[in-house]
Amino acid sequence: MTPRDTVAPPPSGERVGRGQVSEDEKARYIRRMFGVIAPRYDLINGLISGGLHHGWKRVAASLVQVPPGGRAVDVCCGTGDLALLLARRAGPEARVLGVDISEEMLAVARRKTAAAGLEARVKFSLGNAEALGLPDAAFDGATVGFGMRNTVHPDGALREILRVLRPGGRLAVLEFSRPRNPLVRGLYDGYSYTLMPWVGRLVSRHLDAYLYLPASIRAWPDQEGFAGMMAQAGFAQVRCRNLLGGVAAVHTGVRPSACR
């Protein structure tokens, strides 16, 4: 076998999650990983969260406060849960766009939207959170559900979302975070490094996608750190709401009238 025929193995999920690979490697890994796990993504989420993620997403959708008939964008939309929640909350005249890097995830989202009878309100588009390709000041609200960690440059994604929000438009970012109680944190660490990877590997059939998850959570900023990142990107009125003692958190921020 010549060097030209040699294909390097993909980076492990743990190395990617810890930020020990190049930006290009992370982007390729994330896209490939979600393409593989897309058909079982919803099942896995339900199993590893005990169904709690549905309630967390309802909280995030409620905090965006999209007005009736408003326009919203769900960035890193995955299989479309938040996009559908936003559309239902904002009423029959609302229009919601879901954007994701994985066409396989979007295919699942489109099927769910059709089954819910919301095709007229919710559309999906292949795209990158850091370069949405959408008009300035086009949306009343935006969400990101468990996807900000997966961007290569979260600060760049935040600035891009700020750009497409109208003045006064609100962003809600739902993400795994840092439990405040040391006992809860210890229990969660044990769960996420043992049972979570086992269940994820068994159901998703992806060798290390659910090693990436706990590693990326540990490398992610805590509540104060991400709030600071949002403020630095230009968001005002940044707030954090902890869920399940800080296992997850919803950060909200508003586009001010004058962006810097």
Check the annotation: does 172 bind a ligand: no
71: Cβ–Cβ under 8 A, 6 or more apart, which residues? Answer: 94, 95, 96, 97, 138, 139, 140, 141
CA R_g for the chain: 18
Q: What is the 3-state secondary structure (H, E, C) of the chain?
A: CCHHHCCCCCCCHHHHHCCCCCHHHHHHHHHHHHHHHHHHHHHHHHHHHCCHHHHHHHHHHHHHCCCCCCEEEEECCCCCHHHHHHHHHHCCCCEEEEEECCHHHHHHHHHHHHHCCCCCCEEEEECECCECCCCCCCEEEEEEECCHHHCCCHHHHHHHHHHHEEEEEEEEEEEECCCCCHHHHHHHHHHHHCHHHHHHHHHHCCCCHHHHHHHHHHHCCCHHHHHHHHHHHCCEEEEEEEEHHHCEEEEEEECCCCCC
Check the annotation: does 100 bind a ligand: yes
Check the annotation: does 137 bind a ligand: no
Check the annotation: does 252 bind a ligand: no
List binding-site positions for S-adenosyl-L-methionine.
Answer: 79, 100, 128-129
Output the known binding site.
Answer: 79, 100, 128-129
